[in-house]
Amino acid sequence: MLAVANVARRGTGFGAPTPVEIDLAETVVDAFSSIEKVRLVTSGTEAVMTAIRIARAATGRSRIIKFNGCYHGHSDGLLVRAGSGAATFAVPDSAGVPTAISECTSVVEYNDLEGFAAALGADPPAAAVVIEPIAANMGVVPPQPSFLEGLIRHAHDAGALVIFDEVISGFRVARGGAQELYGLAADLTCLGKIIGGGLPVAAVGGRAELMDLLAPLGPVYQAGTLAGNPIACTAGRETIRLLGDDAYRALEERGAALESGLLDAIREAGKKACVQRVGSLLTVFFGIESARDFLEASAADTESFGRFFRAMIDEGINLPPSQYEAWFLSLAHGEADIEAIVEAARRSLRSLDS
């Protein structure tokens, strides 16, 4: 907070790069081995929109492939089967999106490598596949072992680029995101949320030869009046500074403690529910044993979730208000908080029958 206040006093935006913008860009390049160059933008929506424009320019193709239940921001072509917001209100797509645009997007079930290979083989050829490497906008749905590896191999065999949307997972599951956690490399990576430390910053990065397609070096237009502004970049830089190995170890330990506490509470209350977790990201799905894709996730018992949510509010615990949103633990959640959440869950789960 102090760093942000100090930098704000010296000017909030200059329409030109400032040193802290370069610091933040270098931090991103250091953290992700697949990123040689990075462009800062102001929202995750813009990051993915730009990644797709780069991929289309690089391949000379138009069609993109996404996964059912994954959210990639609210640009037209990506508001197709886009997870949490739409899932909660049972609106499959958005009004106001021309079919000429949504027709350029093919949708495949998450964790379905065969379905993905079939979509890749369809006409016209695909420019890119965009994916949340750890799906977190349909509730947390981790990738099955070797799914992402297979996806990268198939995409590259077909001449398509791989865009990892790490807006949630980047700097959250590891400093280098899901790519570090699973030992993978995407062609283009989108970042947001954590990298702004609570203020509006997002980024798209990747190999130099792809990023050099962006204006002013290349023919792919991209711009943003407030992109890389010093206030937001300072918040991001100062937040990421706190994220060393110790932080990720602590987040994993607390995530594991919360998961096992919740599983005990579910068992004791005799409820049918499962917990899906990667690091500090977690979802309790009611009424199902697991969810590997959106079809399985959407079989969850949202009625029970709603009653659990309201019981938890009465206990003073404000959960994400949808079955299809992830819980995010932060470093501010100490061991005592985890215990308090588990105790509240124990009482809330028991109260569901009455």
Binding residues for ligand PLP, rule: CB under 6 A, are 43-45, 48, 71-73, 132, 137, 165, 167-168, 192, 202
What single-letter amino acid sits at 246?
D
* Tokens read off for 314: 């009465």
* Shortest separation between residue 58's beta carbon and ligand PLP, angstroms: 21
To the nearest whole angstrom, how small is the minimum distance from the Cβ of residue 135 to ligand PLP?
Answer: 8
Instruction: Give the pairing of strands 273-278 and 281-286.
Output: antiparallel
128 sits in the region (left: phi over 0; alpha: psi -120 to 50; else beta) called: beta
Catalytic residue among 37, 110, 112, 193: 193
Return the SS3 of 65: strand
165 is catalytic: yes
Told to judge if 248 belongs to the known catalytic residues of this protein, a careful annotator would answer no
Instruction: Give the separation between CA 350 and CA 118, rounded to whole angstroms.
Output: 46
Q: Which is nearer to ligand PLP, 165 or 296 (CB)?
A: 165
The CA distance from 352 to 354, in Å, is: 6
Taking the complex as a whole, how short is the minimal distance between the CB of residue 167 and ligand PLP, in angstroms? 4
Nearer residue to ligand PLP within complex by CB, 50 or 304: 50
HSE-CB of 27 using CA atoms within 13 angstroms:
27
User: What does the chain come to in residues?
Assistant: 354
User: Of the two residues 111 and 137, which places its CB atom closer to ligand PLP in the complex?
Assistant: 137
Q: Phi and psi (nearest 5°) for 277?
A: -145, 140
**3-state secondary structure at position 275:** strand
Residue closest to ligand PLP when measured from CB atoms: 44
Tell me whether residue 131 or residue 349 sits nearer to ligand PLP (CB atom): 131
Note if 324 is an active site residue: no
Min dist CB 277 to ligand PLP, Å, is 17
Which one of the listed residues 37, 66, 112, 165 is annotated catalytic?
165
Closest CB to ligand PLP among residues 66, 333: 66
Give the CA radius of gyration of the chain.
21
Catalytic residue (choose from 37, 66, 71, 112): 71
Smallest distance from ligand PLP to CB 329, Å: 16
For the annotated catalytic residues, the residue numbers are: 71, 165, 193
